Amino acid sequence: MSLYQKILQIENSDTKAALCTIINTKGSAPRKTGSKMIVYQNGTIAGTIGGGALEKLVIEQALEAIKNNSSKVVEHNLVKDLAMCCGGTVELYIEPIMNKKKLYIFGAGHIGKALAKFACDLDFSATLIDDRYDAFDDFNVDDCTIVKEHHATAIEKLVFDTATFVVILTHDHQYDREILALTSKKPHQYIGMIGSERKVEIAKKNLIASNILEASEIAGIDMPIGLDIKAITPQEIAISILGKLIDVRNAEAVNKVK
């Protein structure tokens, strides 16, 4: 498997790793500009930037980058800093390899299918869930996972973590409330539900009255979902929802760089 295939494998999994790339060399160096090495969270590597003391130090720096989820440029003088015989300097760019965010879309209607397609194109790992088997008859997106099960069963099987995005778009208001109640108790980064202002208010009142969620928990749920772009068609509504998901995802990345 090539290094690039390994990077793609990492992006599509929960594996934590960093990519170390030599971006400049001066004088004698063991590897030249463009050489790459992947460092996994457990300290193992794929590829090499030259071995020896340099590689040992860069592995330590990569592990720090993984821990802090931040990129950095480092420069090492091989003689002065590392007592290596090469005699040159090596500059590297170390960057965490970003895992695709898991996106669980409940409801394979027109909006759900459009959102799944667009989200896969923009580097979300999308799963589309619906118990209506015929809902998927006209859906063919290779990168999207399809789950043809009742939402309660699916939620028990799906893996949730603090980077999971949930979008609720089913054809049934009761389903929406049930999914909201179940997923809000799971680890997540974002939950959003489609609906009119009236539907949202009814959902809030029912959840509080039933002691399913506290008002403080409901405040962290995005509903009605989507950016206000005066969307009309299912595709436009899907884009308004995706815009919100991108905003949440990228805001996290920007805050970690600061």
- Provide the pLDDT for residue 258: 46
- Provide the pLDDT for residue 122: 92
- Provide the pLDDT for residue 86: 60
Give me the CATH code for the 101-257 domain, please. Answer: 3.40.50.720
Domain ranges of the chain: 3-96, 101-257
- Provide the pLDDT for residue 82: 61
- Provide the pLDDT for residue 208: 84
Residues near 196 by beta carbon (within 8 Å), at least 6 away in sequence:
224
> Which tens digits make up the pLDDT trace of 21-36?
999 988 777 788 999 9
- Provide the pLDDT for residue 213: 76
Nearest to 233 by CA among 118, 114, 107, 124: 114
Helix, strand, coil shares of the chain as percentages rounded to 5? Answer: 40, 20, 40
> Which tens digits make up the pLDDT trace of 78-130?
756 665 556 678 899 999 998 889 999 999 999 999 999 999 999 899 999 99
- Provide the pLDDT for residue 253: 59
Residue segments in the chain with a per-residue pLDDT below the cut of 70: 79-87, 252-258
Q: What is the pTM of this model?
A: 0.78
Question: Rounded to an integer, what distance in angstroms lies between the CA atom of residue 143 and that of residue 124?
Answer: 10
Question: Rounded to an integer, what distance in angstroms lies between the CA atom of residue 13 and that of residue 131?
Answer: 26
- Provide the pLDDT for residue 85: 58
